[in-house]
Chain A
Amino acid sequence: MKQVYVNSVGSISTQKTFDGSFLEDVIDHEDHVIHAMDPVYKDYIPPAAARRMAKGIKMGIVASKIALTEAGIDNVDAIITGTGMGCVRDSEKFVSAIIDNDEQFLTPTPFIQSTHNTVGGQIALEIQCKGYNFTYVHAAISFESALLDALMQIQEEEANHILIGGVDELGDHTVKIHQVINHIKTEKVKSSQLLASKTSGAVFGEGANFFVLSSEKGETSYAEVLDTKTFNTLEKDQLQSELNIFLKANNIEANDIDLLVLGNNGDVDFDDYYNALAQDLFTQTQQVYFKHLSGEFNTVSSFGFWLASNILKHQSVPEVIKLNHTQTVQFDNVLLYNQYRGENHSFTLLKKC
Chain B
Amino acid sequence: MGKGVAITGMGIISAIGNNVEENFQSLIDKKKGIGRVKKIQTNHVNDIMVGEIDFTNDDFIEQLQLPATNNYSRTALLGVIAAKEAIKNAGISDITQYKTGLVSATSVGGMDMTERYFYEYLENPEVQKYIDGHHAGDSTQKIAEQLGIDGSLVTTISTACSSAANAIMLGARLIKTGRLDRVVVGGSDCLSKFTINGFKTLMILSDTFNTPFDENRKGLNLGEAAAFLVLESDKVVQAENKTVLAYVKGYGNANDAFHQTASSDDGDGATLAMEQALKIAGLHPEDIDYINAHGTATGNNDLSEGRAILRVFGDRVPDFSSTKAYTGHTLAAAGGIEAVYSVLALQNNVIYPNLNFETPMKEFDITPELSIKQKEIKTVLSNSLGFGGNCSTVIFSKEP
Contacts and interface: CB of A to CB of B under 8 A. Distances in A.
B137 A79 contact: no
Nearest to B119: A99
B173 A129 contact: no
B128 interface: yes
B198 interface: yes
Contacts of B157: 134-137
A11 interface: no
Contact of A180 (B109, B122, B389): B122
A287 B392 CA distance: 42
Interface stretch (A60-68, A171-179, A194-202, A263-271): A171-179
Interface of A: 79, 84-86, 91, 94-96, 98-99, 102-104, 106-108, 111-112, 114-118, 120-122, 124-125, 128-139, 141-142, 145, 149, 152-153, 155-156, 173, 176-178, 180-181, 229-234, 238, 242, 298, 343-344
A99 B41 CA distance: 12
Given A104-B43, A121-B388, A176 B154 contact: no
A181 B132 contact: yes
B257 A128 contact: yes
The 3 closest A-B pairs by CB, nearest first: A121-B388, A111-B198, A232-B154
A99 B257 CA distance: 33
Contact of A111 (B156, B201, B257): B201
Nearest to B271: A130
Contacts of B144: 232-233
A23 B144 CA distance: 39
A112 to B, nearest CB: 6
A106 B137 contact: no
Contact of A133 (B43, B141, B390): B390
B387 A102 contact: no
A193 B153 CA distance: 34
A309 B197 CA distance: 43
Contacts of A86: 158
B389 A124 contact: yes
Contacts of B255: 79, 121, 124, 129-133
B272 interface: yes
B156 A130 contact: no
Given A108-B201, A230-B155, 11 more contacts: A84-B137, A103-B44, A117-B160, A117-B386, A120-B159, A138-B137, A152-B177, A177-B128, A232-B152, A232-B153, A233-B150
Nearest to B204: A108
Nearest to B150: A233
Main secondary structure of the interface of B (DSSP, over half): mixed
B122 A137 contact: no
A135 B158 contact: yes
Contact of B149 (A116, A177, A232): A232
Place the interface of chain B in its size category.
Answer: 35 or more
B158 A106 contact: no
Nearest to B158: A116
A96 B390 contact: no
Nearest to B173: A152
Interface string B184-202: 0000000001100110111
B118 A138 contact: no
Nearest to A344: B137
A232 B257 contact: no
Interface string B283-307: 0000000000000000000000000
Contacts of B156: 136-138, 145
Interface string B93-125: 000000000100011010100110011011000
Contact of A116 (B107, B153, B200): B107
B155 A177 contact: no
Contacts of A133: 159, 253-255, 388-390
A135 B194 contact: no
